[in-house]
Amino acid sequence: MTNRRTVVVQGVKQIEDIPGIERIGDAVDWRLSNSTRQLKRALPDAEILLSWDLKADGLRETWHRAERLRWIHWAGAGVDAALFPELVTSDVVLTNSKGVFDRAMAEYVLGLIIAFAKHLPETLALQSQRSWKYRMTERIENRRVLVVGAGSIGREIARLLRAAGLQVLGVGTRAREDDADFGRIYAISALADLLPQVHYVVVVTPLTDATRGLFGAPEFRAMKSSARFINVGRGEVVDEAALVDALCKEEIAGAALDVFRTEPLPADSPLWSMPQVIVSPHMSGDFKECFQALSDLFVENFRRYRAGEPLLNVVDKSLGYIPGKPTTANDTGPIR
């Protein structure tokens, strides 16, 4: 219990940049890495890797030097950036930060739905022009929302939207009846049948082989012409060219996008200037206290690691997410 652990931290210039990390005390020899060269030097002695910036820069290139690595903790929910084959097939345990971002993302999605229904982007545009243009808006009560992704974030979105009076359907990897949050979860194979029935589609699924390119031209054509598409999951889930085409052809009424295939979104992307599109810079889950919450989770998992207790949020690397029945953010049970 007194042995010091060597921990490499990716993405900070000084360890004090992580709030509250000092609670770990003198149990750690910290090694900081902000480049592939620094990671190459630090990895051979490392037992633990804390990826704070979520880019995994240089990790695959230097993986052969991870001779003592036993555990990687990812300071984010989606771990797709880390799932290269050598890591997936290794014995290194991967944990993520499930639960930290759920409520913030649910609030963000509710805000986007309200913004669309109440024409807030148009109102702000008219205000900037000093233009007084009276308009009727929509109600959200009893509107149907399809949440694609039935993990902890999708469930928090479902709970909040239902509390606001919306009807919520869920899509997951497999169908389930009598679900506590969705009522019923449909298998991903039912997507084409569900899309024509809903007014909003919310994508929050992790990026896996099964979800890459999930939304393309056929899916957008299947949606109502009055429907809005919201993506707070991963950009690679969507064929952006097909989305732009669907918006231009008015096959759907609008889109709110927080994630993109290329980030930052290139300046020449047509999405920037489309009046029916809301663009945000991958911020839907971030809130002012999130770094403290991320630190709290790592500190607790480090305590568990030293004590030989089960770690929180262990990812099934072959799936790319935490399988099993979702529970609460602070529960030790796995979620999908």
Closest CA to 234 of 172, 148, 111: 148
In a domain, 213, yes or no: yes
In a domain, 327, yes or no: no
Are 138 and 72 in a shared domain? no
In a domain, 190, yes or no: yes
In a domain, 316, yes or no: no
Per-residue pLDDT, 213 = 98
Using the 3D structure, point to which of 227, 262, 279 is the last residue of a domain.
279
Are 113 and 141 in a shared domain? yes
pTM score of the predicted model: 0.93
Q: What CA–CA distance (Å, rounded) separates 264 from 62?
A: 26
Residues forming the active site? 234, 263, 282
Are 270 and 298 in a shared domain? no
Say which CATH number the domain at 257 has.
Answer: 3.40.50.720
Are 70 and 209 in a shared domain? no
CB within 8 Å of 124: residues ≥ 6 apart:
none
Are 136 and 256 in a shared domain? yes
Are 260 and 152 in a shared domain? yes
Domain that holds residue 141: 102-279
Closest CA to 28 of 44, 13, 9: 9
Collapsing DSSP to helix, strand or coil, 33 comes out as strand
Looking at the DSSP bridge assignments, the partners of residue 74 are: 51
Are 106 and 119 in a shared domain? yes
Are 231 and 127 in a shared domain? yes
Per-residue pLDDT, 324 = 67
Closest CA to 96 of 84, 80, 85, 118: 80
In a domain, 329, yes or no: no
Query: Ramachandran region of residue 324, left (φ > 0), alpha (ψ -120 to 50) or beta?
Result: left
In a domain, 336, yes or no: no
Are 96 and 167 in a shared domain? no
What is the DSSP annotation of 220-245?
Answer: HHHS-TT-EEEE-S-GGGB-HHHHHH
Are 47 and 108 in a shared domain? no
In a domain, 319, yes or no: no
Structure tokens at 177: 């009846």
Number of domains in the chain: 2
Are 227 and 294 in a shared domain? no
Are 63 and 197 in a shared domain? no
Return per-residue pLDDT of the chain as tens, 336 residues: 458 999 999 999 999 999 999 999 999 999 999 999 999 999 999 999 999 988 887 999 999 999 999 999 999 999 999 999 999 999 999 999 999 999 999 999 999 999 999 999 999 999 999 999 999 999 999 999 999 999 999 999 999 999 999 999 999 999 999 999 999 999 999 999 999 999 999 999 999 999 999 999 999 999 999 999 999 999 999 999 999 999 999 999 999 999 999 999 999 999 999 999 999 999 999 999 999 999 999 999 999 999 999 999 999 999 999 986 533 333 333 222
Structure tokens at 93: 């345990």
In a domain, 223, yes or no: yes
